[in-house]
């Protein structure tokens, strides 16, 4: 039986995830629970020591990447780093992890007295990179570049037979729970991190799988590989 997998992250990232799910041999069902909406914000970063990006959405919401292409960029993970390079940044490093990994990389590769850091991210952010770096002596400015708007109603896909629901963020899991979480006890919730799983645990699921690392490749292997709980039951 082919696994049917609901993808709850916002577009356009949901489409890229769908391609990866399909390549594994499962059937992707794009069912976004969040919509990314750009915000007006101060985009002047010319005097920044480095830019911090905690998502590809932040990169896409930064309109003048090429005008600041030489400014060092620290990205939370490889997908965000790839988006930064595609936007024109030439000095990009990936923390290959979560916000805590990003803060650790900043503390070990940057100097508190070398200039401010600018964190360009969303209204809701997993972790608190800015506070951790301020505690280490850095000056950090947080710029809210976009908002992730929760869906007011569930996508129709949740009324269809499903096997796995992918949650890349706690906000998506919280939205599903707030909208009633229909049939959750029949689905596997595959969560990017323990924080995401904590949000999902507000309702009962058939099972919850937590990615061993905060990366999509690890999440998909944990959720969809033949030896995973969901894959084995297919």
Q: Are residues 44 and 144 in the same domain?
A: yes
Measured CA to CA, the distance from residue 73 to residue 25 in angstroms comes to: 35
Q: Are residues 108 and 187 in the same domain?
A: no
Name the residue with tokens 């976004």.
32
**For residue 6, which of 224, 227, 233, 232 has the smallest C-alpha distance?**
224
| Neighbour order of strands in the sheet with 27-30 | 27-30, 4-7, 164-167, 188-191, 207-210
Phi, psi dihedrals of residue 114, rounded to the nearest 5°: -100, 5
Q: Are residues 51 and 29 in the same domain?
A: no
Q: Are residues 67 and 12 in the same domain?
A: no
Q: Are residues 43 and 143 in the same domain?
A: yes
Burial code (b: 16+ CB inside 10 Å, e: under 16) for 171-182 equals bbbbbbeebebe
Q: Is residue 38 helix, strand or coil?
A: strand
In terms of Cβ atoms closer than 10 Å to its own Cβ (0-12, 13-18, 19+), residue 211 is buried
Distances (CA, A) of 8 to 138, 149, 227, 229: 35, 13, 23, 20
How does residue 1 score in pLDDT terms, banded at 50, 70 and 90? confident
Measured CA to CA, the distance from residue 184 to residue 206 in angstroms comes to: 7
Count of domains in the chain?
2
Q: Are residues 100 and 169 in the same domain?
A: no
- pLDDT per residue over 19-30, tens digit each? 999 999 999 999
Distances (CA, A) of 232 to 103, 193, 225, 226: 37, 22, 8, 5
**For residue 90, which of 105, 108, 106, 73 has the smallest C-alpha distance?**
73
Q: Are residues 165 and 137 in the same domain?
A: no
Q: What is the pLDDT of residue 124?
A: 85
Containing domain of residue 62, as a range? Answer: 36-148
CATH of the domain at 69: 3.40.50.10090
Q: 231 pLDDT exceeds 60? A: no
- pLDDT per residue over 181-229, tens digit each? 999 999 999 999 999 999 999 999 999 999 999 999 999 999 998 777 6
- pLDDT per residue over 96-118, tens digit each? 999 999 999 999 999 999 999 99
Judge contact between 93 and 75, C-beta under 8 A: yes
Q: Are residues 91 and 24 in the same domain?
A: no
pTM above 0.85, yes or no: yes
């Amino acid at each position: 039986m082919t696994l049917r997998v609901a993808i709850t992250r916002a577009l356009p990232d949901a489409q890229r995830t769908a391609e990866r799910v399909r390549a594994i041999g499962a059937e992707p069902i794009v069912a976004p629970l969040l919509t990314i909406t750009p915000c007006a914000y101060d985009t002047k970063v010319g005097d920044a020591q480095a830019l911090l990006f905690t998502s590809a959405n932040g990169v896409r919401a930064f309109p003048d990447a090429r005008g600041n292409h030489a400014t060092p960029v620290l990205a939370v993970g490889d997908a965000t780093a790839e988006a930064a390079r595609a936007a024109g940044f030439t000095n990009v490093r990936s923390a290959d992890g979560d916000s805590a990994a990003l803060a650790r990389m900043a503390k070990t590769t940057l100097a508190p007295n070398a200039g401010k850091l600018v964190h360009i991210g969303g209204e809701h952010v997993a972790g608190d990179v800015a506070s951790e770096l301020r505690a280490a002596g850095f000056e950090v400015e947080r710029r809210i570049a976009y908002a992730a708007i929760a869906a007011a109603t569930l996508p129709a896909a949740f009324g269809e037979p499903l096997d796995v629901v992918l949650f890349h963020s706690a906000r998506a899991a919280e939205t599903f729970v707030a909208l009633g979480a229909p049939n959750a006890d029949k689905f596997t919730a595959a969560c990017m991190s323990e924080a995401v799983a904590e949000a999902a645990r507000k309702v009962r699921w058939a099972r919850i799988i937590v990615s061993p690392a905060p990366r999509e490749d690890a999440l998909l292997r944990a959720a969809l590989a033949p030896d995973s709980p969901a894959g084995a039951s297919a």
